[in-house]
Amino acid sequence: MSSHVSPDAERMGADALLVLPTYNERASLGDVVARLLRVAPALRILIVDDASPDGTGALADRLAAADERISVLHREDKLGLGTAYVAGFRRAITDGYQRVIEMDADGSHLPEELPRLLASNADLVIGSRWIPGGRIVGWPRYRRAISRTGTAVARVALRSRLRDITSGYRVFRVDALSGLELEEITSRGYGFQVELAWTLERTGHQLAEVPITFVERASGHSKMTIGIVWEALVGVLAWGVALRLGAKGMRGAREPR
């Protein structure tokens, strides 16, 4: 480490495990990992690969062999984003980390913005595209409209105060996660982000949003499908109905702070 790097910079991420789910992200993975470790040298990274046919898992193994800060969890099939993160959360709890980070492996979340998220001590810190200072680069208008509409529907249905409840760039305090029944988080795809954030919000945890720049992926293909969108929409509407009917598990929940 060069002498001009401050002690604080050298320790950036020392208490955190970053969980990086991958499926066919060979083109972007190496660059994302290298940038992460430059900005947060003390960070530990867990790559969770779902049997990528493009060789992402083999690349992850090579990265791990070259750097002890990186580890890999290989799964035998494409099991979904939500279950990948839950596996990472369990590793963070078991290994005694204080914080766990969610981030996409396709380069859309900028590693250089991670210190901004780590600067907050909230139970959940969300990198938000839809608050002042947040922005999106490379999305056509229809993609922006879909994202804004989905967020608006979720906010109304769930009575949420979050401005970007679907964002996947997040930092959790592990003690907040360890108090949840993670097996009860039912969503497998992007609805997982909504369900988990809303669960923490409605149970009175401290949440914060910080602005980020979201950049459309430069390589590979988006994992968003009609099925994933449908799962998230159905989930949000069902949770909203249950909230209004006072379903079991929601009675007595504290108002969001």
Is the pLDDT at 12 greater than 80, yes or no? yes
Strand partners for 135:
213
For residue 215, the SS3 value is strand
pTM value is 0.86
* CA distance linking residue 42 with residue 70, whole number of Å: 11
In percent, how much of the chain has pLDDT > 70?
A: 85
Strands 99-102 and 170-173: antiparallel
Is the pLDDT at 189 greater than 90, yes or no? no
Provide the strand spans (E) within the chain.
Answer: 16-22, 44-49, 70-74, 99-102, 124-128, 135-137, 170-173, 207-211, 213-215
pLDDT score recorded for residue 147: 80
Is the pLDDT at 6 greater than 90, yes or no? no
In this predicted model, what pLDDT tens digit does every residue of 195-233 receive, in sequence order? 999 999 989 999 999 999 999 976 655 555 566 565 666
CATH, domain 7-245, list 2.30.30.280, 3.40.50.620, 1.50.10.10, 3.90.550.10: 3.90.550.10
pLDDT score recorded for residue 156: 85
pLDDT score recorded for residue 140: 86
In this predicted model, what pLDDT tens digit does every residue of 39-51 receive, in sequence order? 999 999 999 999 9
For the chain, domain boundaries: 7-245
